[in-house]
Structure formats: structure tokens, C-alpha cells
Amino acid sequence: MLFKQFYLGCLAHASYLIADDGEAAVVDPQRDVDQYLDEAAREKVRIKYVIETHLHADFVSGHRELADRSGAQIVIGAEAKAAFPHIAVRDGDTLRIGNVELRAIETPGHTPESICWLVTGSGGAAKLLTGDTLFIGDVGRPDLAGGRGYTPQMMASMMYDSLHTKLLALPDDVEVWPAHGAGSACGRNISREKSSTIGAQRRTNYALRPMSRDEFVALMTTDFPAAPKYFSRDAEINRRGARILAEITAAPLTAGRVREEINRGAVLLDVRDGAAFGTSHISGAINIGLGGEFASWCGTLLPAEAPIVISADSSEHANEAVMRLARVGIESAAGYITECEGLDQSSIPQITVEELRERKLPVLDVRRKGEYSNGHVPGAQHIPLDELPLREGEVKGSGAVAVICASGYRSSIASSLLQRDGIANVLNVVGGTSAWVRSGFSVATETRQT
């Protein structure tokens, strides 16, 4: 049996290809599907099934395009009520790939239709494709199905049963292969490891320790950050099936056309790194660099339907941005520009942690709550980046404000938002709190109220 994991770091997303005796299945594909077709061609196998463990909320899946291009059938849980041709499966249903059997295990909790797949017949330990039900070090959040009539408490109770009566009943040597890794918003404590075993998770996963149903429900419905606003939109796109990726394109624009688009309400998105953006950028641009968690931050911070003008250093990077925006369901790119001439320009000073300490500037920390609590620049105000657009009026300091995150990536995004909206005279801290700690400067660990 061939078993291959494909990992997309930008979205902390894992997908899989399983093949045996000339047949293959792809599980939880990302939107751009060429890599699966290329791998199948190299291995001389035919993709027979495209399997979805659930209706993904954090990215748009390529299941329809992959099925159309390969001739495969799409397989998804019956509770998904999918609006495209598919095989609807229930608990205990099986598929065969050559001599390998895939058995469906219904595991509602993250979503009502969640299915885990037990892969056997390869001669080694069984493999469990857990989707977003069981992660390494965590389990799926239960608050993403509210639009379908379920409360988080109802879903958490279902999750308790799925884990304790089904997954934890499996042998300890069963391998666990989830759909997400560290950084995904579908959990809160996901490990950086890409796989594990049932036994290891039984011993180490905080959500699997012995506890009552009521304790589990309380644990899983407390202190979750709000789900990113694009999640419900992407889940619905996946229920219908996304259009072909090749249909989503953007063309180069002149400076005059860029001004026209901005006057019509377009968002100007600069996808260069923070240093280049800080040196010079088109006034009013938001900086979300391709080098970080680009797609998820775009989905979180950008309006879904507004036209987007991309500012990049090359047409290749502009087209990459278009594709990566489409991965989270943003398909409104109006075009791109690679030069700033003829347009008003601004800059954002980039300062080191040594300069920050010397100048004693007000500091805005835009990391997540847990990151801030574990150590921050003494006196720093805390507003998480995903909350900043609605809380800009709380930013303290009538003069300059130094914006900091862990490395400088999120703080560059935050600085660009604040500058665009005229909230503050901002400076971006290069290297972030990581550089602050490496320099031996003191940190505070108390949680401040904001």
C-alpha cells in the first residue's frame, strides 16, 4: 500500500493519498489538486474515490474539481446533505482500494457529518484518518455547526460519545492521521507532530483524559476564540462544491485603474514581506505577506465580496496570491500591480527591540491570548489581531505606538490596518517578542485586562 500525507503549512492542513493495486483514494484534498493527479500518474494508479471527512470550514476543498478531472466518485457523510453527486456513507460502510479496506466510523462532534476512516489490509498497523475529530494533542472544536441547529454543548456531547465509545475503543497501535496540525483554528492545542497513535493520544491528549460527560462539555465549550468569519462561508461552498480553480484569474492593472478600483471600494492587499512593505507601499494598503499564514489571515480580516487589488513584487507572486485567496473562498481579485509609480505612497518604520526598549514607546501586542499571558513586554496593551478591526478605538497612545507580535509578521498586518484607518502613528517591531526574549529583556506574565 502507498500512503502519502500532503501538508500545506499555510493552512496547517493535511490531505492524503492511499493507493493499492492500481487504485487510489484522496482524502480531504486542498483546492488546487494538481499534486494529487501528478502523484497518481507517477504511481500509475487511478483515483477511484475522493473522500471528505466532513464539510471543512477553514478552507475550500477541491473535491469537485479532482473528481471531474480524475473520474473519481466523491464520498462524504450522509449528514452533510451535499448538493453535488456523491456516495453518502454511514457508520460501518466500507470502500475498497485494491486489497485495502476503508471503513467509515461516524464521529459527530466537530460537525454533525464527521467521519473517521479506518484503513486496514496493508499488513502493518491500521491507520485512522481522523479529519477534525481527533488531532495530535487535541480534538476538534464543537462550535462550528450553530447554523445547522446545534449548540456547542450539543456537539461537545456528541464528541464525547464519538471519542469514548468509538475511537478510544480501538487498539493502541492504530495510527492517527488528522486533517490539521499546529496553527489551525479548528483546535486550540494542536501539536506540531503530524501523526501519532491511539495509545499515545490516550496517554497525552488533554481532551482524552478520564472525565465525565459534563466535565468534557464544559472543557470544550470554554475559552475558545470566536471562529473566523469565513468559516461558515467556506463550509457552505464545500457543501455545494467549489468552481474550477482555473476560472479564477487576475490581470495586471495600471496605476489609473488601481485608483478607479479603490474609489469603487476595492481593498488594496500588499502581499510582500513586512520589511519591503515598511520601506514603501501604496497608501491605504493592508500588508498580509505570502511568507506567513497568508490565506487564513486574509479569510479572517478581508471582506468576502469586496474587490481586491493585489500589490506584489512580481506577477508570479500576484498569481500565487490569487490562488491562495481562493483556498479560503475569496474569489474577488480585480487585478494586480507590481509597481507603485503614479500612486501615493507611505511607509512604516521598522524598529529593533533594542530601539523599543530605549525609546520607551507605548506597545500594542497583537498575539493570541495564551501567547500574551505566557510573556509580554511589560506594560504592553493586548488586542489580538483577529479582534483588532473592531477594537481599533481602544489603541492607547496619542503619538507613536510600537506594534509587536511573536516575529513581526502579524504586527506588520496590524500596523498596516492602523495606518490605513488613521488610528495611530505606528512602528513595527522587527523580530517581535522572540527577539525581545533572546535579548534578555524582562517580560511580564500576568494577564492584563483590555
pLDDT single digits (tens) 255-284:
999 999 999 999 999 999 999 999 999 999
Write down the residue that cell numbers 535579548 correspond to: 439
Tell me the mean pLDDT in the region 206-219: 96
DSSP 448: P
Q: Are strands 345-346 and 286-287 parallel, antiparallel or unpaired?
A: unpaired
pLDDT for 160: 98
CA distance 411 to 392: 14
User: 111: alpha, beta or left, given left = phi > 0 and alpha = psi -120 to 50?
Assistant: beta
Report whether pLDDT(321) > 70. yes
**pLDDT averaged over the chain?**
94
Tell me the mean pLDDT in the region 130-142: 96
Convert 184-250 into a string of H (helix), E (strand) and C (coil): CCCCCCCCCCCCEEHHHHHHHCHHHCCCCHHHHHHHHCCCCCCCCCCHHHHHHHHHHCCCCHHHCCC
- Mind listing the pLDDT tens digit for each residue in 384-434? 999 999 999 999 866 899 999 999 999 999 999 999 999 879 999 999 999
DSSP 439: T
Instruction: Please report which helix (H) or strand (E) contains residue 437, including its range.
Output: helix 432-438
Q: Which three cell numbers stand for residue 160?
A: 464525547
Write down the residue that cell numbers 520589511 correspond to: 275
pLDDT for 449: 43
DSSP 163: I
Residue type, 402: A
- Mind listing the pLDDT tens digit for each residue in 141-157? 999 876 678 999 999 99
DSSP 167: G
pLDDT for 99: 96
248-343, CATH topology level: Oxidized Rhodanese; domain 1 (3.40.250)
Could you tell me where the DSSP H helices lie in 302-381? Answer: 315-326, 353-359, 369-373
Between 284 and 188, the higher pLDDT residue:
284
Report whether pLDDT(448) > 60. no
- Mind listing the pLDDT tens digit for each residue in 24-71? 999 999 999 999 999 999 999 999 999 999 999 999 999 999 999 999
pLDDT band, residue 125 (cuts 50/70/90): confident
At residue 181's C-alpha, the angle toward residues 175 and 186, to 5°, is 110
pLDDT band, residue 450 (cuts 50/70/90): very low
Between 163 and 185, the higher pLDDT residue:
163
Same fold, 248-343 and 350-438: yes
Percent of the chain with pLDDT over 90: 87
Choose the CATH number for 2-239 among 3.40.605.10, 3.40.5.90, 3.60.15.10, 3.40.50.2000.
3.60.15.10
pLDDT for 152: 93
Q: What is the CA radius of gyration of the chain?
A: 23
pLDDT for 188: 81
Global pTM reads 0.90
pLDDT for 166: 98
Domain range list for the chain: 2-239, 248-343, 350-438
DSSP 99: T
pLDDT for 396: 83
The answer as to CATH 3.30.930.10 being correct for domain 350-438 is: no
The DSSP secondary structure of 367-432, one letter per residue, reads S-HHHHHT-B-TT-EE--GGGHHHHGGG---SSEEEEE-SSSHHHHHHHHHHHHTT--EEEEETTH
- 298: phi then psi, degrees, rounded to nearest 5: -65, -45
pLDDT for 146: 64
CA distance 141 to 133: 8
Between helix 294-301 and helix 409-420 the angle, nearest 10°, is: 30
